[in-house]
């Protein structure tokens, strides 16, 4: 069965599932199982995983789209049941066990003779190699720099934000090649959903559907309406399954533009993917 199950979001049809501001989804395609993001509250994420009978020991890998806590906080639970799972992350200088850049290492290693001995980094003998700390020691992080086919037909790629408040933050998205075009899965689209579409279209010129957070919650209504129509008319995207930070007005505009081809993607939703 090719499908995606939303494990964590702030809206959804009535159920006992926990809601929260954040995102997580289980992607099942061509026999592979991928966890995309892990929600904002580890306990609520774990509750929803159990309630939806998701076996986290049977994952091919995990994707953390970006560093924000509303996408990473359930990772402790994932690692508690599957400590060896591979975790793809963006390049993040401040986390995910990233090695310190050679330029910064050189600055740290600079020796200034006039500086008192007890104020020299590492007593005047700085490390030759330094990595960023992480709340998940021992986790199997692998960072995505260039578009990468991590499994046959399944691609991860990175985009960088230039938006105020998120400048230079890297975020990875996932594209699955299917017979009907690419299924694109996004976390928060901080780089801009149209910028992400541009990169995805180089992997597959046909984009069948887009699932996840579009970050249009703070975009002017007129621009949101333009984009909703552009997804349908310019990009020829057949289906939409927006959620998380897309925004209430944007969700209503996407429903207007797509009608029956808009897939409800609240917590607990199961979205069919092309066979």
Q: How far apart are the C-alpha atoms of 33 and 30, rounded to whole Å?
A: 9
Higher pLDDT, 275 or 220: 220
Alpha helices in 52-154 (DSSP H): 69-72, 75-81, 102-109
What local confidence, expressed as pLDDT, does residue 135 receive? 87
- pLDDT at residue 114 is higher than 90: yes
- For residue range 173-188, what is the model confidence (pLDDT) as tens digits? 999 999 999 999 999 9
What angle, 0 to 180 degrees and rounded to 10, lies between the N-to-C axes of helices 248-258 and 221-233? Answer: 30
What local confidence, expressed as pLDDT, does residue 165 receive? 85
- For residue range 223-264, what is the model confidence (pLDDT) as tens digits? 999 999 999 999 999 999 999 999 999 999 999 999 999 999
Band of pLDDT at residue 196, cut at 50, 70 and 90 = very high
Least confident of 79-88, 119-128, 182-191: 119-128
What local confidence, expressed as pLDDT, does residue 107 receive? 81
What local confidence, expressed as pLDDT, does residue 82 receive? 98
* Contact (CB, 8 A) for 210 and 187: no
- pLDDT at residue 163 is higher than 90: no
Band of pLDDT at residue 150, cut at 50, 70 and 90 = very high
The answer for residues whose C-beta is within 8 angstroms of residue 205's C-beta and 6 or more apart is none
On average, the pLDDT of the chain sits at: 94
Band of pLDDT at residue 124, cut at 50, 70 and 90 = confident
- For residue range 1-47, what is the model confidence (pLDDT) as tens digits? 899 999 999 999 999 999 999 999 999 999 999 999 999 999 999 99
Q: How far apart are the C-alpha atoms of 262 and 241, rounded to whole Å?
A: 6
What would the two tokens of residue 267 be? 């917590």
* Contact (CB, 8 A) for 237 and 207: yes
Q: Is the pTM of this model over 0.85?
A: yes
Burial (CB < 10 A; 0-12, 13-18, 19+), residue 86, is middle
Here the contacts of 138-141 (C-beta below 8 Å, separation 24 or greater) are 138/83, 139/75, 139/79, 139/87, 139/97, 140/84, 140/85, 140/86, 140/87, 141/87, 141/88, 141/89, 141/96, 141/97
Q: How far apart are the C-alpha atoms of 242 and 146, rounded to whole Å?
A: 25
What would the two tokens of residue 96 be? 């995910």
What local confidence, expressed as pLDDT, does residue 47 receive? 98
């Amino acid at each position: 069965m090719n499908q995606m199950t939303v494990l964590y979001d702030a809206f959804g049809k009535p159920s006992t599932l926990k809601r929260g501001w954040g995102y997580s989804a289980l992607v099942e395609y061509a026999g592979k199982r991928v966890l995309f993001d892990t929600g904002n509250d580890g306990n609520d994420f774990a509750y929803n995983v159990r309630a939806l009978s998701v076996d986290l020991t049977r994952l091919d890998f995990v994707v953390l789209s970006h560093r924000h806590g509303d996408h990473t906080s359930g990772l402790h639970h994932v690692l508690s049941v599957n400590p060896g799972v591979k975790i793809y992350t963006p390049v993040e200088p401040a986390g995910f066990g990233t090695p310190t850049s050679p330029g910064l290492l050189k600055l740290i290693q600079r020796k200034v003779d006039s500086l008192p001995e007890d104020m020299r980094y590492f007593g005047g003998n700085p490390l030759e190699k330094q990595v960023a700390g992480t709340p998940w020691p021992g986790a199997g992080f692998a960072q995505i720099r260039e578009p990468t086919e991590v499994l046959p037909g399944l691609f991860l790629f990175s985009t960088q934000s230039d938006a105020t408040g998120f400048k230079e933050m890297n975020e990875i998205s996932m594209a699955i090649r299917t017979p009907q075009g690419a299924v694109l899965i996004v976390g928060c689209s901080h780089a801009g959903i149209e910028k992400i579409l541009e990169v995805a279209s180089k992997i597959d010129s046909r984009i069948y559907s887009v699932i996840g957070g579009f970050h249009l919650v703070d975009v002017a209504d007129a621009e949101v309406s333009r984009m909703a129509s552009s997804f349908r008319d310019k990009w020829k995207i057949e289906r939409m399954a927006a959620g998380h930070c897309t925004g209430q007005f944007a969700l209503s505009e996407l429903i207007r533009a797509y009608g029956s081809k808009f897939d409800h993607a609240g917590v607990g939703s199961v979205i069919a993917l092309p066979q």
